[in-house]
């Protein structure tokens, strides 16, 4: 059937919203673009580029950015932001000379957060976690990953993941969840680590997969966490249930966790202070993203630097995240995480920005959906009152966010 369009539709491109008079830092091969504009229709980017090349859009709403900078909305790809209580008292004790082991033996550490989290209702978890989520949102975050791992029983892990999903309904932000049952050994399994891993693999992962509560499965591969052999069983269970994996690897020592994760096609391996050359090659071959967590490095006063130069030379994409957690990185600022990544790890400004946008999206398996200003992607934007993108990384404590757009609004 022949359909004749009205004249205007032939010569103009209708769209819902236009941001004009902006500078773009696209986190795409297009790089930075001056005198640019972004067009959005049905929540998707339909144009992001120079004003001079743009088709003749007709928008329902036009926004004059007055020369501000637009970046993709920021993405925090590694957080434990759903939990109850805090560990400020432990921080004080450590300042007074107590060691991590002494605190753990006195009932502190991960187990204290586990107890508080088990005692919390879903409602409590949501309300305590919203404050942390709001801090991230206030600095332009449009997608946030949230891990379980402080419940350590099926019941409490489900409650944490439900709370995480609820956060994405309470606020206009994308929430991605990771099941981290293999985070720590709950006290009722003391001395029976393999039995706990059995429970994770045969009870927890099937139940959580069936409920659709996790987008990925994570683990803590470390002398004080779980061995590579135990993590491998978790990964096999994840694979059997169609869930991608990621891993806390090489944070405190080299257990060759990154290479194991790479063998399972992991989306990301995270921390990586003790990563070796073989781990880097394995990650490169599998396309696994390196997630650096400078907040944990800073807060624990770690001195072993992740091998940034070797990752760069191997072209392993680097992401940067907060690791927001009460024990080793009580950080709710991606701007500060970027500053730390630059100051402590010597990442460039462009690497920091890619780290909290496109590479963070890839670390969540969302590289085609968000994280850059490219046609077809979700229109997730951060609009900044800055003269250059370097200001996002160099400033400490000033929040230059002017506006945040999630799915076009």
The residue (of 174 and 327) whose beta carbon lies closer to ligand DI6 is: 327
Q: Which of 19, 47, 179, 220 binds ligand DI6 (CB under 6 A)?
A: 220
Only one of the segments 50-58, 235-243, 316-324, 368-376 lies at the binding site for Fe ion (rule: CB under 5 A); that segment is: 316-324
Contact status, residue 184 vs residue 220, Cβ threshold 8 Å: yes
* Contacting residues for 115 by C-beta, under 8 A, at least 6 apart: none
Does 219 help bind ligand DI6 (rule: CB under 6 A)? no
Q: Which does 328 bind (CB under 5 to 8 A by kind): Fe ion, ligand DI6, none?
A: ligand DI6
The residue (of 47 and 299) whose beta carbon lies closer to ligand DI6 is: 299
Query: Is residue 75 helix, strand or coil?
Result: strand
DSSP per-residue codes, 130-172:
HHHHHHHHHTTEEEEEEE--SS-SHHHHHHHHHHHHHHHHHSS
The residue (of 80 and 166) whose beta carbon lies closer to Fe ion is: 80
Q: Which does 296 bind (CB under 5 to 8 A by kind): ligand DI6, Fe ion, none?
A: ligand DI6
Tell me the β-bridge partners of 271.
249
CA 409, CA 405: separation in Å to the nearest integer?
A: 5
Query: Is residue 53 helix, strand or coil?
Result: helix
| Residue with the two structure tokens 């957080």 | 79
CA 128, CA 81: separation in Å to the nearest integer?
A: 9
Token pair in block for residue 241: 């249930």
Contact status, residue 283 vs residue 269, Cβ threshold 8 Å: yes
Only one of the segments 239-247, 256-264, 317-325, 331-339 lies at the binding site for Fe ion (rule: CB under 5 A); that segment is: 317-325
Q: Which does 162 bind (CB under 5 to 8 A by kind): ligand DI6, Fe ion, none?
A: none
Contact status, residue 72 vs residue 382, Cβ threshold 8 Å: yes
Write the binding mask 261 to 300 for ligand DI6: x where contact by CB under 6 A, - elsewhere: -----------------------------------x----
Only one of the segments 83-91, 128-136, 272-280, 322-330 lies at the binding site for Fe ion (rule: CB under 5 A); that segment is: 322-330
Q: What is the dihedral of CA 247, 251, 253, 258, to 10 degrees?
A: 30
Only one of the segments 59-67, 276-284, 319-327, 351-359 lies at the binding site for Fe ion (rule: CB under 5 A); that segment is: 319-327
Smallest distance from ligand DI6 to CB 117, Å: 10
The residue (of 147 and 377) whose beta carbon lies closer to ligand DI6 is: 147
Q: Which of 41, 139, 273, 323 binds Fe ion (CB under 5 A)?
A: 323
Does 113 help bind ligand DI6 (rule: CB under 6 A)? yes
Tell me the β-bridge partners of 355.
none
CA 333, CA 321: separation in Å to the nearest integer?
A: 9
Q: Report the site for ligand DI6 in 27-86 (rule: CB under 6 A).
A: none
CA distances in angstroms from 343 to 86, 295, 340, 346, listed in the order given: 27, 12, 5, 6
Q: How many residues bind ligand DI6 (CB under 6 A)?
A: 12
Closest CA to 165 of 76, 79, 245, 82: 82
Q: Which does 327 bind (CB under 5 to 8 A by kind): Fe ion, ligand DI6, none?
A: ligand DI6
Residue 389 DSSP code: T
Environment class of residue 312 by beta-carbon count within 10 Å: exposed (0-12), middle (13-18) or buried (19+)? middle
Contact status, residue 230 vs residue 193, Cβ threshold 8 Å: yes
Write the binding mask 173 to 192 for ligand DI6: x where contact by CB under 6 A, - elsewhere: ----------x---------
Q: Which does 199 bind (CB under 5 to 8 A by kind): ligand DI6, Fe ion, none?
A: none
The residue (of 37 and 135) whose beta carbon lies closer to Fe ion is: 135
Residue 346 DSSP code: -
Token pair in block for residue 125: 């978890």
- The H or E element spanning position 129 is helix 122-138
Q: Report the site for ligand DI6 in 313-332 (rule: CB under 6 A).
A: 325-328
Q: Which does 178 bind (CB under 5 to 8 A by kind): ligand DI6, Fe ion, none?
A: none
The residue (of 327 and 367) whose beta carbon lies closer to ligand DI6 is: 327
Contact status, residue 23 vs residue 66, Cβ threshold 8 Å: no
Q: Which does 110 bind (CB under 5 to 8 A by kind): Fe ion, ligand DI6, none?
A: ligand DI6
CA distances in angstroms from 322 to 43, 303, 356, listed in the order given: 27, 18, 10
Q: Give the residue at shortest CB distance from Fe ion.
A: 323
CA 340, CA 405: separation in Å to the nearest integer?
A: 26
The residue (of 273 and 380) whose beta carbon lies closer to Fe ion is: 273
Smallest distance from ligand DI6 to CB 326, Å: 6
The residue (of 41 and 323) whose beta carbon lies closer to Fe ion is: 323
Which residues form the interface with Fe ion (CB under 5 A)?
323
Which residues form the interface with ligand DI6 (CB under 6 A)?
109-110, 113, 183, 220, 248, 251, 296, 325-328
């Amino acid at each position: 059937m022949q359909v004749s369009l009205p004249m205007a539709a032939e010569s103009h491109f209708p769209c819902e919203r236009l941001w004009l008079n902006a500078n773009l830092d696209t986190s795409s091969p297009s790089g930075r673009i001056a005198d640019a504009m972004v067009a959005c229709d049905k929540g998707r980017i339909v144009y992001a580029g120079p004003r001079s090349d743009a088709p003749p859009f007709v928008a329902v709403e036009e926004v004059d950015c007055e020369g501000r900078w637009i970046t993709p909305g920021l993405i925090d790809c590694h957080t434990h932001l759903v939990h109850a209580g805090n560990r400020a008292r432990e921080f004080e004790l450590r300042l007074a000379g107590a060691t991590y082991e002494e605190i753990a033996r006195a009932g502190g550490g991960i187990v204290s957060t586990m107890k508080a989290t088990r005692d919390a209702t879903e409602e409590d978890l949501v309300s305590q976690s919203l404050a942390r989520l709001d801090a991230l949102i206030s600095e332009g975050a449009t997608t946030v990953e949230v891990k379980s791992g402080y419940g350590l029983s099926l019941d409490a892990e489900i409650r944490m993941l439900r709370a995480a999903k609820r956060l994405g309904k309470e606020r206009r932000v994308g929430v991605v969840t990771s099941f981290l049952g293999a985070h720590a050994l709950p006290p009722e399994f003391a001395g029976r680590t393999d039995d706990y891993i059995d429970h994770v693999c045969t009870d927890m992962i099937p139940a959580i997969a069936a409920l659709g509560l996790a987008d990925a499965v994570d683990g803590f591969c470390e002398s004080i966490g779980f061995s590579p052999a135990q993590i491998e069983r978790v990964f096999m269970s994840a694979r059997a249930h169609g869930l991608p994996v990621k891993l806390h690897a090489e944070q405190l020592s080299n257990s060759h966790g990154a290479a194991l994760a790479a063998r399972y096609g992991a989306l990301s391996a995270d921390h990586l202070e003790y990563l070796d050359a073989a781990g880097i090659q394995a990650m490169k071959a599998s396309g696994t993203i390196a997630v650096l967590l400078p907040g944990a490095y800073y807060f624990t006063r770690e001195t072993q630097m992740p091998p940034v130069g070797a990752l760069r030379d191997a072209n392993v994409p680097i992401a940067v995240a907060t690791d927001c957690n009460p024990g080793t990185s009580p950080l709710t600022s991606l701007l500060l995480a970027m500053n730390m990544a630059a100051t402590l790890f010597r990442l460039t400004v462009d690497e920091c920005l890619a780290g909290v946008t496109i590479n963070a999206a890839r670390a969540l398996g969302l590289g085609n959906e968000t994280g850059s200003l490219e046609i077809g992607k979700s229109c997730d934007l951060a609009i900044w009152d800055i003269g250059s993108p370097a200001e996002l990384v160099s400033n400490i404590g000033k929040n230059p966010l002017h506006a945040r757009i999630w799915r076009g609004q």
